[in-house]
Amino acid sequence: MADKTVYRSATENPFHICMPLGGIMPFKGIEGCMILVHGAQGCSTYMRRLLTEHYSESLEIGSTCLNEKGTIYGGEKNLKQGLENIRKVYNPKVIGVLTTCLSETIGDDVERFAEEYLADNDCGDLKIVTVPTPGYGGTQAEGFYVTARRILAKLTQPAPKHEKINLIVSHITPADIREIKRILDLMEVAYTLFPDYEETLDGMYRDEYYKIVPGGTALAEIEKMSGAAATIEMGLTVDPEHSPGQLLLDQYEVPLHRVPIPVGIENCDQFFRVVAKVTGKKIPEQIDKERRRLLDAMIDSHKYNAEGRSAIYGEPEMVYATTKLCLENGIQPVVVACGRGGNKLTALLAAEMEDCLEDVLVLSESDLADIRGISAMKNANVAIGHSKGHYLTEKAGLPLVRMGLPIIDRVGGQRLLSVGYDGTIQFLDRITNTLLENKQRTYRTQMYEKYYKGQRKNITLVKNSAN
């Protein structure tokens, strides 16, 4: 394995996004929450636009609309006015405040403003959770965990021990969350899943219109996460300082078990092993059947998968899981990349790739231009990542299996299922079928070029030598 960071000053066609964007999902994953972005109004508008396109859901995110005056005198007035208006119009249980480049650079003490606002007004049970998320401070992946951690830091209270476990998910799809819940219910495990944006970001048509969409982890549950028997957290690549599970361990001594996103048979095995061990529950026959079906699929598809050479990019946690899935199925990763913040991933993958027949380039800082170059050099035939990779298809003919966020040029990004044994089958099929489709499209030409044309050349050569 080779680790290389192609350092350039111009990021050309990036595939990572900014920190506050990642903070939206955890807030959408708690009950009765409204989000306020403290910065110029473009930040919230841009984020709403991107996420709306991905989830096909409306995202109500307020802005404190900082302008030139606010940047000079500070954003206190705007923030307090923003809180007031959100509270009056939407009556939320929680307001999540995310900061931006602007408010962090001018140095607003957002937490103090929020505390003052609560003290000065009769707000009932309203909670305000503030999160420092400057755009230059990290990517959306870090924004996700940092926000989840701040929510727990603010909303969890000391609680008596109980038998439930905490399940902290990574940035997976609402369909993935639904699958995790099905699995845990099947195992008869008592759990608190956090952040639960299954219904808020993959809504249904309802008879009544709700200003704040129902769903999300209940606040009463979050309060008691401190008393849980254990925490299982999806997040091998997460810095302990950003980890919500670490906070519960440090502050309330809730035992923490870190697992990868359960994509791929090994990651799933590990997930089930941990859940079974922590809860003492048996793995039900149904799950065993699903595992056997996955194995069956892996065996049946291996011939096609063995021809796969993948370029994988996205958020570290999903990139790790996807890379393992490829390795298990004989799909050779040729480049595995994070936009930024992939240092931990490099170390994690090093262990996995010891047996690889060829070097895999792992990039901890990169952009799609890097991926395009390396893919061409190393003959990749499939890319796995989000929609911005359509550029690889358009410019370099590399087919794309859509995965992650944003998926904005196809519908159903929020409904993609990839976790658990069943989800893994679906994800693997998407990859295998993309390889097949590509082969179907090109193999006659390739055969003709390689064998038929080649043969004719040989004949000519023979003739020549006879002369």
Partner 1 sequence: MTDKIKKMQDTVNGIMSKYPASAFKGRKGHVIVVDHSEAPQEMVADTRTVPGIITERGCTYAGCKGVVVGPLKDTVAITHGPIGCGYYSWLTRRNRGRTEKPEDHNFLAYCFSTDMQETDIVFGGEKKLQKAISEVVEIFHPKSIMICATCPVGLIGDDINAVAAWAEKEYGVQTIAFSCEGYKGVSQSAGHHIANNGLFKHVIGTGNALKGEYSLNILGEYNIGGDGWEIERILKTIGYTIMSVMSGDGTVEQLKSAHKADLNLVQCHRSINYVAEMLREKYGTDWIKVNFLGIENTIQALRDIAKYFGEQSLIDRTEAVIAAELAEIEPEMEKYREMCKGKTACLFVGGSRANHFQGLYSEIGIETVLAGFEFAHRDDYEGREVIPFIKANADNKNIENLVITPDPKHYRLLLSKDKYKELSQEMSLNYFKGLIKIMNDGNIVVDDINHYEMEQFMKILNPDIFASGIKEKYVIHKMGKLSKQLHSYDYSGPFAGFKGAVIFARDIAMGLTTPAWSLIKPKWKQDTHLEGSYVYVEEVI
**Residues in Cβ contact with 164 at an 8 Å cutoff, skipping those fewer than 6 apart:** 190, 191, 192, 224, 228, 229
- The pattern of x and - marking residues 50 through 89 that bind partner 1 according to CB under 8 A reads x-xx--xxxxxxxxxxxxxxxx------xx-xxxxxx-xx
Whole-number minimum distance, CB 341 to partner 1, in Å?
11
CB of 232 to partner 1, least distance (A): 31
How many Å apart are CA 386 and CA 389, to the nearest integer? 6
**Rounded to 5 degrees, what angle do the CA atoms 448, 451, 455 make?**
115
Site for partner 1 contains 242 (CB under 8 A): no
Shortest separation between residue 127's beta carbon and partner 1, angstroms: 16
Residue number, 115 or 185, with CB nearest to partner 1:
115
Residues 421-440 that bind partner 1 (CB under 8 A): none
Q: Considering only residues 116-155, where is the footprint of partner 1 by CB under 8 A?
A: 134-137, 139
Element (H, E) at 167: strand 165-168
How many angstroms separate the first and last alpha carbons of the chain? 51
Answer for the pair 213, 55: CB distance below 8 angstroms, yes or no: no
CA angle 164, 165, 166 (to 5 degrees): 125
CA atoms within 13 A on the CB side of 69: 5
Told to check if 396 binds partner 1 by CB under 8 A, we report no
Considering only residues 320-359, where is the footprint of partner 1 by CB under 8 A?
Answer: 339-340
Comparison of 21 and 335: residue with beta carbon closer to partner 1: 21
- By CB under 8 A, how many residues form the interface with partner 1? 77
- Measured from the CB of residue 83, what is the shortest distance to partner 1 in angstroms? 6
In the complex, what is the shortest distance from the CB of residue 66 to partner 1, in angstroms, rounded to a whole number? 6
Distance CA 35, CA 458 (A): 69
What is d(CA 310, CA 374) in angstroms, rounded to the nearest whole number?
A: 11
Residue placing its CB nearer to partner 1 in the complex, 137 or 255? 137
Instruction: Give the strand order in the sheet containing 94-99.
Output: 61-63, 33-38, 94-99, 127-131
Considering only residues 28 to 57 of the shown chain, the ones binding partner 1 according to CB under 8 A are: 36, 39-43, 45-50, 52-53, 56-57
Q: Which of 2, 124, 205, 464 binds partner 1 (CB under 8 A)?
A: 205
Q: Which is nearer to partner 1, 161 or 395 (CB)?
A: 395
Does residue 212 touch partner 1 according to CB under 8 A? no
